[in-house]
Structure 1
Amino acid sequence: MHLMKCCRRGMAAAAVLLALAACSTPPTPATYAQELPVLDLQQYFNGTLDAHGIFQDRSGKVVKRFTVVMRASWVGETGTLDEDFTYSDGSKQRRVWTLRKTAPGRFIGTAPDVVGEAIGEVAGNALRWQYVLALPVDGTVYHVDFEDWMFLMDDKVMLNRAAMSKFGFSLGAVTLSFSKRPQAAP
């Protein structure tokens, strides 16, 4: 009898949690439309930026630490983000993004290891990128889904959190802090 009561309570609690989860919707860029400071992607990603980051596996363990030096520039509605990564194990990687503004607050991004196009949307202080990255791991290349959120903190600092998944299952997360270098005086 006691076991049946415990099972019923457990099932009731699970039903409530499932109902709450079904009612919650993930944030969209519009969620942050009123947040300040307003992110101007073309202005922030212009010049040289430094970043420090970590990759955590799905258990939360930090697997890699890294730094990035990004040189960014724009010609009209097209931007280039040239990133040099240095990992804690001494390995290096380079990724060059080409960004194109397609509408107010909307961007398309491409890079050699991005499968297809990255779709970007800016609102308020936030930017969300969604894309598939071809990630080499131990001699095999995996196509991994990224949902990449960036939040402008002030005119120099941006925080970035990217969730990685495959077939809907979490693989881990990347966390970065970007810092914009002061522009040299003319």
Structure 2
Amino acid sequence: MALELISAAFAAVVLVYVISKKLGFSAQSPQDYNATSPAFDLRKHLSGPILCEGIIYGPMGRVNSRFVADMNGVWDRATGTLTESFHYSSGNTQLRKWNLTIGNDGSFRATADDVIGTADGIQSGATVRMRYRIRLPEDAGGHVLNVTDWMYLMENGSILNKSEMRKFGVKVAELVATMRPANALNV
């Protein structure tokens, strides 16, 4: 009886994993968005001062944190930096500086101090997908998470960002944010 229960539980876990990989957020592919427009160009759409607002959901789907971030992108041909200054609802702050290099095929690589190794990304139609491993700050547990980050460019130049963070294949957090040129607020 116990072996049957363990086998059934294992089968259920495998089924949920396969369904999420084939039907969920993780099943998206850059090719799904090849024909979408406007075309996302990191050098254009992540350039200059950018205002970002977002929320982070915990593993149970409740909002764990809210934030506002001031970002600034600077480019020199195929290389650029994107600095991010986060201000969380808890009062905590966080700084991150991305160093980006774009390839001739729309792919790009990025590094940051809290990213383990190199983030790999691709621009495709109106989207950007980036995957990387990140180490959380010690006050957030210091965990290492696998991140899949999708950005969707809207017709008005705003960007919608959704990220899933996983540990051992299990979703532990989700981020949803908007980004838009800071100077658009003064129009």
Structure 1 length normalisation: TM-score? 0.83
Alignment partner, residue 76 of structure 2? 75
Q: What are the residue-to-residue correspondences of 1:1-186 with 2, within 5 Å? A: 21=19, 24=22, 26-138=27-139, 140-182=141-183
1:66–1:85 contact (8 Å) kept in structure 2? yes
Matches of 2:63 and 2:183, distance apart in 1: 30
CA apart distance, 1:22: 8.9
Matches of 1:44 and 1:21, distance apart in 2: 33
Matches of 1:64 and 1:122, distance apart in 2: 28
Letter in 2 for 1:27: Q
2:142 counterpart SS class: strand
Matches of 1:23 and 1:77, distance apart in 2: 33
Deviations 1:76-100 (A, max 9, x none): 2101001100000111110000000
CA apart distance, 1:137: 4.4
Q: Cα distance 1:21–1:144, how it changes in 2: closer, same or farther (>3 A)?
A: closer
Matches of 1:22 and 1:131, distance apart in 2: 19
Moved over 3 A (4+): 20-25, 137-140
Letter in 2 for 1:29: P
Matches of 1:68 and 1:153, distance apart in 2: 19
1:156–1:181 contact (8 Å) kept in structure 2? no
1:24 counterpart SS class: helix
Aligned length: 167
1:44–1:155 contact (8 Å) kept in structure 2? no
Q: Cα distance 1:103–1:157, how it changes in 2: closer, same or farther (>3 A)?
A: same
Deviations 1:1-37 (A, max 9, x none): xxxxxxxxxxxxx8xx87x939936121111011111
Q: Which runs of 5+ in 1 are unaligned?
A: 1-13
CA apart distance, 1:139: 7.0
CA apart distance, 1:66: 0.2
- For the pair shown, the structure with the greater C-alpha radius of gyration is 1
Q: Cα distance 1:54–1:23, how it changes in 2: closer, same or farther (>3 A)?
A: closer
Matches of 2:95 and 2:139, distance apart in 1: 18
Higher helix share: 2
Deviates further, 91-100 or 129-138: 129-138
1:58–1:170 contact (8 Å) kept in structure 2? yes
2:143 counterpart SS class: strand
Q: Which runs of 5+ in 2 are unaligned?
A: 1-11
1:53–1:177 contact (8 Å) kept in structure 2? yes
